[in-house]
Every structure is written in C-alpha cells, then in structure tokens.
Amino acid sequence: MARLNDNYCKLKAGYLFPEIARRVNAFCEADPDGKARLIRCGIGDVTEPLPPAAIAALHAAADELATRDTFRGYGPEQGYPFLRAAIAQNDYRDRGIEIADDEIFVSDGSKCDCANILDILGDQNHFAIPDPVYPVYADTNVMAGHTGAAAPDGAFAGLTYLAGNAENGFVPPPPTTGKIDVAYLCFPNNPTGAVATRAQLAEWVAYALANDVLLLFDAAYEAYIQDPTLPRSIYEIEGARRCAIEFRSFSKNGGFTGVRCAFTVVPKELTATTADGTRLPLHGLWLRRMTTKFNGTAYIVQRAAEALYTPQGKAQVAALVAHYTGNAAILRQAAATAGLRVFGGENAPYIWASAPDGLSSWEFFDKMLTDANVVITPGSGFGRAGEGWFRISAFNSRKNATEVARRLADLLKTNAG
Amino acid sequence: MARLNDNYCKLKAGYLFPEIARRVNAFCEADPDGKARLIRCGIGDVTEPLPPAAIAALHAAADELATRDTFRGYGPEQGYPFLRAAIAQNDYRDRGIEIADDEIFVSDGSKCDCANILDILGDQNHFAIPDPVYPVYADTNVMAGHTGAAAPDGAFAGLTYLAGNAENGFVPPPPTTGKIDVAYLCFPNNPTGAVATRAQLAEWVAYALANDVLLLFDAAYEAYIQDPTLPRSIYEIEGARRCAIEFRSFSKNGGFTGVRCAFTVVPKELTATTADGTRLPLHGLWLRRMTTKFNGTAYIVQRAAEALYTPQGKAQVAALVAHYTGNAAILRQAAATAGLRVFGGENAPYIWASAPDGLSSWEFFDKMLTDANVVITPGSGFGRAGEGWFRISAFNSRKNATEVARRLADLLKTNAG
C-alpha cells in the first residue's frame, strides 16, 4: 500500500503569498477603479530589465548551442569552472576571503538550496529558525519530519524560534538556554531588512564553534549592504569556515528571479558528525547530493551569471541595486515621517514598519489595499514575531515607489486626523 | 552537535561515470595515439545542435527580458501555462490520452524529478527497482534512508530488485512474491533499450491497482519509440491514472541536456494513504513540494521547450530523433552481425549487447578502450543483472557511429580469429 509523506499534512494550507493573491483578486473584482490604481509591493520580485551584459551573454550562449562544434550538453552538476571561478574570485578572494573555486556549487536558486541542504543533514538535529523570516526554512523542516504539529499561532513543535523584535533590532542573538544543532540566519533579512553587525555575527560564530552548531547563512540580499562596516559574507568572521554554509543568489542583484541562478558555499573544513561520532566534511556530501539529484544549471544561464562579473556587468548591477536602494530610502523616509517604527530599507530592499493604531498585520494589509490601493506584505505571514508589522518591497519603478510613499503618508495623515 | 545524514555513508564511492572518466583519462595519458582516435559512446549525452526553433525562441525570450514592459521575474513554480498547455495537448490529448494542463509540472530535469518524488512519499514504503537501470533510483533511496547497507555485489538491503535478463527481454514482470508499495519502471529503458509492450504494461497496471502499488514511470526516451504498437505513455493503459506518475524530458528529443527542461505528470485521481488510512491525492502534495522547494524553470528555457511543439519544432525534433535512431540501427546491426546477443537500438537510443567470450562488463570495457579506442558503458554499472553486458550510446555523429560499428566488427573478428 503506497503511503504518502504524512508530514505534509502538518503544513498550514494558506501559505502567505497565495493568501495575498486571494485577497488582491477579491479586491480587484469588487473595485475596478482601485484595481486600476493598484501598486504591488507585496512579493519581493524585481521589476527592472536584465542588465545588458547578461542579455548579450544569453544571446551569445544560445548561438553556441546552434552549431555542432560549440554545442554543450550536460555540464558539471556543481557548475561550470568559469562561473565557479568568477564567483570565488570576485565575491570572496577579491574581498580578502579565502574561498576556493571548488567550494562554490552553482544551482538554479537559493530557495532550492536552502530547502535541499536538509538532504545531507541528519533528522536527529534540532533546528533553530529566526522569527520573523522567509517561510521556506520552517516549511521544509516540517516536510522533512523535523517537527510536530503546528500550534494555533502557527509555531511548530520541535523547532526553536529565534525571536526578532524592536529591542534586538530584529537581529536575534544565539539562544542562552536549550540545545540546538543547526541554525538558519538571514542577513540582510527577509522580511525585516535587518543586517547583523560584525560583532553580532562574531557572537553567532563563537557560539556555533563552542556548541558544535551548523549555521545556514542566507545572504541572498547581500548586494544591498551599502555600509562598509557591515559584513557581507559570514566568512568575513574568523572561524566561520568551520561552522557555516552560505547561500547566495543572482536574483536580487542581477535581477535573475526568472533566469534562475544561485550558489552555495561549502568550505572544505566544515564537518558534521556521523552516528559513530566520526567527523566528516559536508563538502563531499553536498557534492554527492548535487551530482545525484541535480543535473546542473542551464549553460546559457551560467554564461549570463558570469557576465555580471565583467566590468560592464558590475556597473550595470551596481546601477540596478542603486535604483532599488533609492526606492527603499524614499519608502523608509515616508514610513518614518508618518511616525511608524521602521527597520530595514538602508542596507536592504525591504522596509519593515509597525502597523499604526495597534492594527494587526492583516488588518493593515486590508486597509492599505482598500484605502491606498497598495499591496504590502503582512508581517505575521513571516512568523508570530511579525504580528503588528508589515513589509514594503522596494522592487518597483521609481515612479511607483514615490507614489506608494505619497499614498502611505496620505493614509496615515488621514488616519491621525 | 550537528549530525550529517548517515545514509550517505552507505553509498558506494565509485559512481559509474566517474569511474569511466578515471579509466579513460588514464588511457589517454598512457596512449596519445589512442587518445587521438578515441570515440566516446559512454555517457548518454546528445551531440547535435539544438533545433533552430528552440534557438530562435531563446533569442526572442532573452530580448523580452531586456525591456521593462516585457520583463518577467518569478514565474509559476509549476511551469508557465503556455508550456503546460502545449505539453498536455501535444503529448497527451492529441494522442487520445486524457491529461489536464494542470496535471503537468514543468521542471529543470527528469533526474531531479525522479529524485525529488521521494519527498512526498512515506519512508515506510517498500521500493522495487529494475535491475539493470539508471542508478539514480537506487542511490536516492539510499540517501533517503530506505535501505540497509550494500552487499558486496552492490545490492542494497531493503530494496526489491526486478531482474531483467535475456529470457524476459529485459522487461521484468511484476513480482509474484513479497510485498512492494512503489515500483520504478523505465521504458524505453536506460541502459537496455528494452520497451514494454502494451500487454506488459497492462500487466503492471493491473498488478499496481490490485496491490495498491504506485508506479513511477520514467519515459525520458519516449521519442525513440518508432513501433506504433508500443505504448509511449503509461496513461495509454486503462487505469494508469489511478496508479502512476510519469516523468518526461526534453533532453533526448530536443537535445536539451544542457538547456534543462523536463516535466512530471501527476493525475488528480492518483492517491496514496496517510497514517490513519485516509487516501489523499498526490497532486496536492507535489504542488506543495514544487512551490515550496523550487522556483520554476527559467522563462527563456520554457519558451524554448514550447517552440519544440510548433510545426517547425516538431519537424526538427523528428529529424534529430531520426538521426540518432539511424545511428542506433547501424550499431545494433554491427553488434548482431558480430554474433553478440543484442537488445535495444530499435525503439531506443541505446544498444545493449552481451560481452563476448565470457568477459565481464569491465573487462570488455577495457578491451574496447585499449584495442578499439571506443568508450562504452559497462553493464554491471547499472546493477548486478547487467554483468556481462555493455551499453553503446547512439548519441553521436553518423561518422562516429559508423566508425564505431566498423571497429566493433574488426575487434570481434580478430577476437574470433
């Protein structure tokens, strides 16, 4: 008798983004004028075209596939050497961080990597997850059977939640009680936009080394860090090569959300323990996982990613990031001026603000939708600690970002008056 | 203390293709003249350029990403409607098979899909795996903890092996003893090239329905079936919608091994059982798996796949398949004429032949490499039942295929003399 994976039944039916889509659709049907004015700042998807260097690389690579002599079939599952070298050199070694080419594993997305990493870890591990945070960490642990059922507030038994709040600046410190084996960290954070300082990351690395904890460091928004004193990679912290895996993406710097390319860094010194107490490098396990369950990222896509590291590509990426960062500054300013408590928006493409007048996240979502015709993301969708907060995405045109800032100011003025 | 997934330690270190690469490299270093003559028929990778329709679609889609108005970011994780509709219409409904658009899930590869399908199935299931067969089925079950250790002959405790042999034409029938819950089937088979007849597949479907067994039907080589009496989809068999998932790929028809596009079919009637005995559709679980752990296949790649279904695309795919099928006929003829027992090569791109003179698979691999300077694939690399057999891939230029046929004939003539 074929049995299904019962853990899927523990997942909550209403995933955040489908629920947003449902409410937006209902609104649009009920209010055609509002629909016409609607501006979407909900999902963190880029809006601006791909850098010209990437477009040129896509065309050139497609032409290579058109003739027998330059055709390429299966590539190395872990990524082509040309891209692994460009990443390791530009993102790490040029910044004084020792990462070898073969510690870079190219993939088709950070979502996949953050989810698939569980494949190589034992189910005995106790996992710690920030709250609020990107829902994929928790959901994939539920699917893998690492949790019990969800409580009415949405928290899953068996996970340790690392609560962010205004007091800790949404950078939760390592837990002081309880035992954990693996911890997810995400800086710049989705959804709060918070970024850990060097001292805060050093505290996490020291904790990890002292307690034999593996850190899963999601740095998908690293390109938005403008402050030169903030760490962009966990490997800027001494000792991190022995306790951390880092995830990066081309989605939010090169605008690759529809092109699909990302990478995972697994240092060779990083080990974990077998049942008999032997320590083995995770590098070999991840290599085996990728070669057995993945067939590599499309050749043309890898060429497009490589093009982001050319001088022209770098300038175009910088301009894209500057565009979204400019939007973020406008939105952050509007929320702050309106008297909301605001995090993020400075070294991150997300603005995280408190809902006014004690409204819940979904209440303010509905108010923004119906009164301002702006789609935001309710903070409670990212975890209990997000209740009472909301996220605005800076991924938009400048015109839309300015208009959203204006509507937010208007709404909150009306509200206060 | 971070623990790794101990199941990975059960995997055999020497995966087939790395071992082939090691022996070929050693040969090339030792024999520069042989290296110059070397023809590779080892890995099943296509060699001919992408169809012009696909190239044109890649260029057009890349251009769409270059301007704001036509830019696309995140797409639906389960695939764009345009591609799901093209697949369901052309591959199924036009052939009288009832499959809805939303039963098609687009991915970046059949290897990934065949591996990831285990995510939604319970670990209590007992899995049956053909022997010989594509190694990914067994390896992913080992990784998922569904097996014990490997025996000296490479077989894993806890799996049921469905032995193929010359007597059953390498189409193993359903087991007559023992209890299984899930069975992999692969037709046209990799590596044997065997194709199940309609009666044979009907026997499997009847067995599955009678015993509540889930069939995982890998049809990646479906395009090579020339005989109109042979089933190209398991859904041609009455009742299969209630017991089978089908995997298909654009790798071997459109030559997409480096472009990365495939799909999985999950009919909505297909159910499996929860711990409390409830039957639930697997469709919803797979949808949840894909939306949570995957971010969709690249937009430009999906446009290229769609182009294979245009009239020009279909003609170009047919020409590609005819080219490789022509190679297969030449290679099959050579092996048969030399007196070997031969399977496949008629409705499949692989020729499966017995090693002469009682040689083992690896002994004949070494002989072909050193004496004929041809790389083949040792049958034992696909399982115990492959011992004494070898695979020749028809994915090559016509010139190379003809030359390999000539060298094979020469070698075996010398041998016999």
Instruction: Spell out the domain ranges in chain A.
Output: 14-43+313-412, 54-309
How far, in Å, CA of B89 to CA of B76, rounded? 19
**Burial call A97-124: b when 16+ CB within 10 Å, e when fewer:** bebebbbbbbbbbbbbbbbbbbbbbbee
Residue A366 to chain B, least CA–CA distance (Å) = 24
The whole model's pTM is what?
A: 0.97
How many angstroms separate the CA atoms of A318 and A110, rounded? Answer: 21
CB contact under 8 A, A63 and B48: no
B298 at A interface, C-beta within 8 A: yes
Residues in chain A closer than 8 A to B52 (CB atoms): 66
Interface contact B63, partner A, CB < 8 A? yes
In the numeric block, which tokens belong to residue B190?
């990799």
List the beta bridge partners of residue B218. Answer: B186, B247
Among all residues of chain A, which has the CA nearest to that of B77?
A258
- Smallest Cβ–Cβ distance between B66 and the set A50, A115, A295 belongs to A50
d(CA B320, CA A196): 54
Question: Which CATH number describes the domain made up of B54-308?
Answer: 3.40.640.10
Inter-chain touch A2–B121, beta carbons under 8 Å: yes
Contacts of B300 in chain A (CB under 8 A): 58, 259, 300
Q: CA B333 to CA A379: how far, in whole Å?
A: 67
| Nearest chain A residue to B64, by CA | A49
Ranges of beta strands (E only) in A268-417 are: 271-273, 279-281, 342-344, 350-354, 374-375, 377-378, 389-393
Q: Closest Cα of chain A to B53: distance in Å?
A: 10
- CATH fold of the domain at A54-309: Aspartate Aminotransferase; domain 2 (3.40.640)
- Tell whether A35 lies on the interface with B, counting CB pairs under 8 A: no
Q: What's the pLDDT score for residue A417?
A: 46
CA distances to A107, A274, B67 from A372, rounded to whole Å, are 39, 55, 28
Assembly ipTM:
0.97
For residue A190, the distance in angstroms to the closest alpha carbon of chain B comes to 16
- Cβ separation of A71 and B49 shorter than 8 Å? yes
Query: Are the CB atoms for A173 and A38 separated by under 8 Å?
Result: no
Supply the pLDDT for residue B14.
62
Selecting from B4, B49, B182 the residue whose C-beta is nearest the C-beta of A2 gives B182
DSSP class per residue in B309-353: TSHHHHHHHHHHHHHHHHHHHHHHHHHHHTT--EEESSSSSEEEE
Helix (H/G/I), strand (E/B), else coil: A186 = strand
Q: Which of B1, B45, B275 sits opposite A74 (nearest CB)?
A: B45
Chain B residues in contact with A5 (beta carbon < 8 A): 119-123, 285
Cα distance between residue A346 and residue A339, in whole Å: 17
Q: What is the DSSP string of A252-276?
A: TTS--TTT--EEEE--TT-EEE-TT
CA distance A284 to chain B (A): 10
Chain A hits for B282, CB-CB cut-off 8 Å, are 4
Q: Which helix (H) or strand (E) holds A214?
A: strand A214-218
**Yes or no, beta carbons of A273 and B3 under 8 Å apart:** yes
C-alpha B255/C-alpha A66 separation (Å) is 11
Question: Shortest Cα distance from A157 to chain B (angstroms)?
Answer: 19
Residue in chain B closest to A18 (alpha carbons) equals B291
Structural domain B14-43+313-416, CATH architecture: Alpha-Beta Complex (3.90)
Quick: pLDDT tens for A131-159: 999 999 999 999 999 999 999 888 999 99
- CB spacing of B1 vs A181 below 8 angstroms: yes
Q: What is the CA radius of gyration of chain A?
A: 22
- Please identify every stretch of chain B with a pLDDT value under 70, giving residue numbers as ranges: 13-15, 414-417
Calpha distance A260→B15 (Å, rounded): 28
- Under 8 Å between Cβ of A241 and A269: yes
* CA B265 from centre of chain: 15
> pLDDT tens string for chain A (417 positions)?
999 999 999 998 666 887 898 999 999 999 999 999 999 998 889 999 999 999 999 999 999 999 999 999 999 999 999 999 999 999 999 999 999 999 999 999 999 999 999 999 999 999 999 999 999 999 999 999 999 999 988 899 999 999 999 999 999 999 999 999 999 999 999 999 999 999 999 999 999 999 999 999 999 999 999 999 999 999 999 999 999 999 999 999 999 999 999 999 999 999 999 999 999 999 999 999 999 999 999 999 999 999 999 999 999 999 999 999 999 999 999 999 999 999 999 999 999 999 999 999 999 999 999 999 999 999 999 999 999 999 999 999 999 999 999 999 999 986 554
CB B128 within 8 A of CB B180: yes
Q: Chain B residues with CB inside 8 Å of A260's CB? A: 108, 295-298
| Pick from B3, B58, B212: CB nearest A300 | B58
Radius of gyration of chain B (CA): 22
Judging contacts by C-beta atoms under 8 Å, the chain A residues touching residue B123 are 5
Answer whether A14-43+313-412 and A54-309 agree in fold.
Answer: no
- Residues of chain A contacting B111 with CB distance shorter than 8 Å: 293-295
For residue B396, give the nearest of B385, B387, B388, B407 by alpha carbon. Answer: B407
Could you say which of B45, B111, B301 has the minimum Cβ distance to residue A298?
B301
What would the pLDDT profile of B77-100 be if each residue is shown by its tens digit? Answer: 999 999 999 999 999 999 999 999
- The answer to whether A266 contacts chain B (CB < 8 Å) is no
Contact A385, A161 (CB under 8 A): yes
Query: Torsion angle of alpha carbons A317, A321, A326, A329, nearest 10°?
Result: -160
CA distances from B380 to B138, B195, B343, B396 (A): 14, 20, 16, 23
Residue B8 forms contact with A (CB below 8 Å): yes
B182 touching A, CB under 8 A?
Answer: yes
Question: CB of B81 within 8 Å of any CB in chain A?
Answer: no
Tell me if chain B has a CB within 8 Å of the CB of A117: no
Contact with chain B for residue A21, Cβ under 8 A: no
Sort out which chain A residues have CB atoms less than 8 A from B106's CB and list them.
none
Residue A27 touches partner B, C-beta closer than 8 Å? no
The closest CB to that of A120, out of B4, B257, B293, belongs to B4
Q: Residue B62 and residue A55: Cβ atoms within 8 Å?
A: yes
φ and ψ at A93, to 5 degrees? -65, -35
Asked if A4 is an interface residue toward chain B (Cβ–Cβ < 8 A), one would say yes
Closest CA to A267 of A94, A96, A120, A100: A100
* A127-131/A182-186 β-pairing: parallel
Q: What CATH number belongs to A14-43+313-412?
A: 3.90.1150.10
The Cα–Cα gap between A405 and A233 comes to 31
Paired tokens of B223: 């395009």
Alpha-carbon gap, residue B392 to B334, rounded angstroms: 11
Nearest to A301 by CA among A250, A252, A265, A342: A250
Which residue type occupies A127?
F
Task: Nearest by CB to B75, from A11, A121, A258: name it.
Answer: A258
Buried b (16+ CB within 10 A) or exposed e, A348-357: bbbbbbbbbe
What does chain A come to in residues? 417
User: For the segment B205-233, what is each residue's pLDDT rounded down to a tens digit?
Assistant: 999 999 999 999 999 999 999 999 999 99
Residue type, B344: G
Tell me the C-alpha to C-alpha distance, in Å, between residue A136 and each of A204, A393, B119, B145, B313: 21, 18, 15, 23, 38
> Please, which residues have CB within 8 angstroms of residue B10's CB and are 6 or more apart in sequence?
B142, B147, B148, B149, B150, B156
CB contact under 8 A, B111 and A293: yes
